[in-house]
Amino acid sequence: MKEELKGTGVALVTPMNDDYTTDYQSLKKLLNHIKNGKADYVVVQGTTGESPVISWLEKLKILQFVLDHFNGSMPVVFGHGGNDTFDLIEKSKDLKAFNLAAILSASPYYNKPSQKGIIRHYQLLGDAFPHPIILYNVPSRTASNMEASTTLALAKHPNIIAMKEASGDLQQCKKIAKNKPDDFMLLSGDDALAYDIIKMGGEGVISVIGNIMPGAFTNMVNTALNLDFLGAKKMNEELKSAYNMLSEEGNPSSLKAGLEALGLCKRTVKPPLFDASDSLVKKWKEYFESTPPRNI
């Protein structure tokens, strides 16, 4: 299981038609693009997939489509997090029949639970979920941080196998890397920090840019994992302008602008998000025109 989730996971977008239904034709093109870029696995229905505004039945339909498309050739992780512990447990019963490598579960948002509350939430999920759990700390979205001590306490649970760290706090990440059990994985949740987190002992990343540039980004990650930090640093520097564009108009709007520029899907996002501007799509097109194909 650990080897399956080492390296580059791609937080998959949900391509949409103009009427906000799922664009499965574009999803198929995107999955092929990611696989051809040699990413290691995909994450279906994380935040990048606009999971807060997609119904449970549609999420399961998208998940089945991805599993059928790969037919066992690439591991699949499913995003299933929220702020209602027992609703998550109830819905997880529907996931038993799916062949998943793990479930990515974001820390509860809005409720702002204490560290003890976060621990109890995840322990209950760990006891009940039918697949291993990847914790997800993203304070910019949840309004509460999972402290390193909380992560390390949860790392002892036999069904909790990894942490996707998107706090942006490298000192916190270092504490986890230094003190975690050997069989617990630290994964970056921020493309721009993946190099730094791998260098301190992390084992990979769940990536946004992997939708657009799976080849270049996976190559950087693998180079760092092979301990060629000088080579990986150079590759990482070359990607910085792309990292910056991904944050210009929010995620996944900025990401879908890049995907439209590549002809992989429309920039359409579902309200309350708003479609990226023409100027950002143009900026991505100019970037790709100046970027060697090997770096995409």
Token pair of 229 as six digits? 């930090």
Residue 272 DSSP code = T
Query: Could you report how far apart the first and last alpha carbons of the chain are, in Å?
Result: 28
pTM of structure: 0.96
Q: What is the pLDDT of residue 292?
A: 73
Mean pLDDT of residues grouped by 10 in the chain (296 residues)? Answer: 88 98 98 97 97 98 98 97 97 98 97 97 98 97 96 98 98 98 97 98 98 97 98 96 96 98 98 98 95 71
Task: Give the number of other Cβ atoms within 10 Å of residue 289's Cβ.
Answer: 8
Per-residue pLDDT tens over the stretch 225-257: 999 999 999 999 999 999 999 999 999 999 999
Q: Please give the helix or strand (H or E) that residue 36 lies within, else none.
A: helix 24-36
Q: Are 119 and 150 in contact (CB under 8 A)?
A: yes
Task: Give the number of other Cβ atoms within 10 Å of residue 204's Cβ.
Answer: 25
Which residues, at least 6 apart from 139, have a Cβ–Cβ distance to it below 8 Å? 145, 146, 166, 167
Q: Which residues are catalytic?
A: 136, 164
Q: What is the pLDDT of residue 291?
A: 79
Q: Which is nearest to 82 in space by CA: 106, 55, 112?
A: 106
3-state class (DSSP) for residue 51: helix
Per-residue pLDDT tens over the stretch 104-153: 999 999 999 999 999 999 999 999 999 999 999 999 999 999 999 999 99
Token pair of 115 as six digits? 């560290």
Burial (Cβ within 10 Å: 0-12, 13-18, ≥19) of residue 34: buried
Distance of alpha carbon 88 from alpha carbon 71, whole angstroms: 26
Q: What is the pLDDT of residue 96?
A: 97
Distance of alpha carbon 34 from alpha carbon 82, whole angstroms: 27
3-state class (DSSP) for residue 38: coil
Distance of alpha carbon 126 from alpha carbon 124, whole angstroms: 5
Architecture of domain 3-228: Alpha-Beta Barrel (3.20)
Token pair of 198 as six digits? 């791998």
- φ, ψ for residue 121, nearest 5 deg: -55, -50
- φ, ψ for residue 280, nearest 5 deg: -75, -40
Q: What is the pLDDT of residue 101?
A: 98
Q: What is the pLDDT of residue 293?
A: 64
